[in-house]
């Protein structure tokens, strides 16, 4: 590879890292506390309340998926779909935050959307530079998997 080519690759990698750090900063600012709260409340909930968590996060996930929004062609890579889903969930969180309602059920839905955004950013590989966010993302991905499995089992 020529010297010019290696500079181009290095520059691309540097900009990619900068973009990931920017996304992590935004996620920490707008999503982290909400997702942590949602997951902690879930862990402390009794078994009769847990299906509410599954339903709200499954609905939030469906609402944010590109196929449901009609935004992206189906031939995109998984990471691109995960990124688009996370962006859609972040948009919902920001819109709901702007309303500033002091309503626990509205916060519950917003927290579920934040959890979805974190899970899909983890799936897109955004958190490779941040171990703490990677761990939160892993927990969110596991939760979404549990919720999806539960909802599929109880629909049939």
pLDDT digits (tens, 9 = 90+) for 95-147: 998 887 778 889 999 999 999 999 999 999 999 989 999 999 999 999 999 99
| Residue whose entry in the numeric block shows the structure tokens 């966010």 | 133
The answer to whether 98 touches 106, Cβ cutoff 8 Å, is: no
Helices (H), 28-156: 33-44, 50-64, 66-69, 78-99, 104-123, 131-155
The predicted structure's pLDDT at residue 77? 83
Domain spans in the chain, listed from the N-terminal domain onward: 22-155
CA distance 98 to 120: 22
pLDDT tens string 76-109: 788 888 999 999 999 999 999 888 777 888 999 9
């Amino acid at each position: 590879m020529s010297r010019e080519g290696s500079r181009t690759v290095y520059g691309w990698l540097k900009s990619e890292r900068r973009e990931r750090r920017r996304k992590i900063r935004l996620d920490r600012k707008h999503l982290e506390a909400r997702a942590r709260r949602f997951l902690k409340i879930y862990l402390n909930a009794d078994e009769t309340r847990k299906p509410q968590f599954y339903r709200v996060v499954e609905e939030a996930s469906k609402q944010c998926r590109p196929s449901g929004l009609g935004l992206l062609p189906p031939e995109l890579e998984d990471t691109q779909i995960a990124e688009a889903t996370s962006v859609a969930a972040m948009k919902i969180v920001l819109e709901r935050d702007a309303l500033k309602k002091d309503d626990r059920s509205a916060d519950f839905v917003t927290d579920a959307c934040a959890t979805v955004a974190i899970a899909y950013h983890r799936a897109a590989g955004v958190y490779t530079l941040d171990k703490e966010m990677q761990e939160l993302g892993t927990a969110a991905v596991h939760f979404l998997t549990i919720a999806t499995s539960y909802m599929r089992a109880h629909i049939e």
